[in-house]
Amino acid sequence: MSGTDGGRVARIKRSGSEVVRELETLDQNVYAAIAATDTPSLDRSLAHLSNAANKSGIWFGTAAVLAIAGGAQGRRAGLAGLAAIGVASAVVNLGLKHVWRRRRPDPLGAGVPDRRHVHMPDSTSFPSGHSASAFAFATAVSLREPVLGVPLLGLAGAVAYSRVHTGVHYPGDVVVGSLVGVAAATLTAPVTDRILGR
């Protein structure tokens, strides 16, 4: 590698590091702004929603409702959603969290109100597993039942936001987690279509 090429590579690395630092600063500033925003009417509801999504409980419940109320088609949609959660969870919890190892935010230091507090997971912060599971399920079901897209994706978005609102994730964690969930659902759809049928 020539000196010119080496200098170019060094500049690219330096620019990349600067971008990462700027994104990190933006992430922390948005987190702090959300923590400082007084929203007493939302705090407890979002804390309950965040807790309901622990271990994908809300999505298993939704799959059960689909199976009961939606017949064979609803049952297949729910199973497709759960399969997408399995893939998204594996990617996040067995892969990405071990690569980045980002520390969790400090809700007490940021002044997150007590009424918002939920259990702080022991796992690393990036990306958000709750967000990945939420968007994996919502996207997978929506691909089979488009009429459910708006309510389910809206609920997934609320779950993702609740993780920032309650102070256990930075915004960047939930954005990337949500994208992982959408990707997992999209990539598993052809497989679940073959196995479950349409």
Give me the DSSP letters along 49-71: HHHHTGGGHHHHHHHHHHHHHSH
Tally the C-alpha atoms within 13 A of residue 175's C-alpha that lie toward its C-beta: 7
Residue 102 has pLDDT above 80, yes or no: yes
Integer Cα distance of 181 and 63 in angstroms: 17
Average pLDDT, the chain: 92
- Each residue of 107-165: pLDDT tens digit? 988 999 999 999 999 999 999 999 999 999 999 999 999 999 999 999 999 999 999 99
Q: Are residues 49 and 156 in contact, defined by beta-carbon separation less than 8 angstroms?
A: no
Q: How many domains does the chain have?
A: 1
User: Which is nearest to 152 in space by CA: 59, 70, 50, 57?
Assistant: 59
Give pLDDT, residue 120: 94
CATH of the domain at 23: 1.20.144.10
Q: Which of 75-84, 109-118, 182-191 has the lowest mean pLDDT?
A: 109-118
Tally the C-alpha atoms within 13 A of residue 189's C-alpha that lie toward its C-beta: 16
Show the domain range for 183.
Answer: 3-196
Helix, strand, coil distribution of the chain in percent, nearest 5: 80, 0, 20
